[in-house]
Amino acid sequence: MEKVKKASNNTITRDLSKLAAPTGNIYESTVIMAKRANQISADVKKELNEKLEEFSNFADTLEETFENREQIEISKHYERLPKPTLVAIKEFEENEIYYRRADNQ
């Protein structure tokens, strides 16, 4: 989660030639970043669900459900985190993503 916290929460204009440089193709770079963003998103979602599960009460019905302050605070914290796409772009720019090509042979 520390990587998620260090990424900027704002979108910025990026130089496409710099993003394309590691792979030689902007589309390959985009696919790599998209796959990494999906991984980050899945990890964050899993972590959020685990934390929220601690507060769930399976005996409650819809009428008996009440606001749980801890759940609300946890949800707000995750809403403030940078988007997985921004984290993936930052990791790609800093060469922190391992990727390999599956050559057709």
Residue 2: what pLDDT? 54
**Cβ distance 48 to 78 under 8 Å?**
yes
Per the prediction, the chain carries an average pLDDT of: 83
Report which of 96, 4, 92, 88 is spatially closest to residue 45, judged by C-alpha positions. Answer: 4
Residue 10: what pLDDT? 77
Element (H, E) at 36: helix 26-53
Q: 26-61, pLDDT tens digit by residue? A: 999 999 999 999 999 999 999 998 888 877 666 555
The ranges assigned to domains in the chain are 2-8+16-93
Residue 64: what pLDDT? 47
Average pLDDT over residues 60-70: 60
What percent of the chain is predicted at pLDDT more than 90?
A: 49
